[in-house]
Amino acid sequence: MHKRNRVRLLALVILAQWLSACSMGQIVARTSVSIMDGSVDAMNRETDLALAATAIPANLKLMEGLIVEDPGNTDLPVYAAQGFYGYAFGFVELSDPARATALYHRGFEYAQRVLKQHGLSLDIVNSPADTLRQAVNRLGHESVPALFWAASCWAKKIDLNRNDPAHIAQLASTEILMRRVFELDPDYYYGSPYLFYGVYYGGRAPMFGGDYSKSAQNFDRARAVTKGKLLIVDVLQAEYLERQRLDRQRFHALLEQVIATPPGSFPEMALANQIARARARWLLGKEEDWF
């Protein structure tokens, strides 16, 4: 048999074996990851909040369907966790905290699913801190996205339930997950680990574990990663740190600065900046009540 024909025959045999091992749904799911990359990028560049609010739920349900078809996939659940976080934060939590809590929990479950596939088999929520820390410290760079979105979704769920002692008791465990992200890739997702710590230390009084100096340092570091182009940094500094330390002048100035920043200054994160502007306006509407 001619060498080229033998190569073709071998390729056909391998393809046939692969197809027999996979359902059509699994094949579609596995070939959809690159499409999801483009979809996420396109959504991040969206400037119309109403269009994004309408489109994101459909995309989330599509991702959930693909996950059902290919339950062993480790990319799609991370996209789902990111998507549920973004939708809850950007479009739900200010008007419906209870629904946002459920959405953040859903995102956490998807991220946790990937962590289990990476070997983190223990009960993340209920494990003692030392046990959780030892297990998390064994994870490597491939776990950074799942760790980040698990910690982020979990922390936001806690933030929306501050009157529940059971939720508050879990806050330190979210930091264990984020600490590993910080050790492996502190600039991940435009410096978001710094942003996490800005909120973590700034959203509580010192007597409850807050540290205004550490908070300010982390917000500054987050701002430096994008040279001030990611506006949510200023919004969260105002919402958590400046509100907590009762600095009304700084609170007001940061939010006005966000609103005054022209659209198009950071096109690859245009949607996040539009959400930041909308949240800044909402926060300014609360200024008289808070100060």
> Across all residues in the chain, what is the average pLDDT?
90
Structural tokens at position 50: 């109403």
Of 230, 248, 233, give the one whose Cα is nearest residue 290. Answer: 248
Structural tokens at position 167: 């939720």
What's the average model confidence in pLDDT over 54-61?
94
Domains in the chain: ranges and CATH: 25-145 (1.25.40.920), 186-291 (1.25.40.920)
Q: Model pTM?
A: 0.88
d(CA 291, CA 288): 6
Of 159, 236, 157, give the one whose Cα is nearest residue 195. Answer: 236
Strands (E), the chain: none
Question: Residue 18: what pLDDT?
Answer: 41
Torsion of CA 126, 128, 132, 134, to 10 degrees: -160
What's the average model confidence in pLDDT over 47-64?
95
* Residues 78 and 149 sit within 8 Å (Cβ to Cβ): yes
Question: Residue 36: what pLDDT?
Answer: 60
Task: Please name the amino acid found at residue 193.
Answer: P
Query: What angle in degrees, to the nearest 10, is found between the helix axes of 33-44 and 270-284?
Result: 40
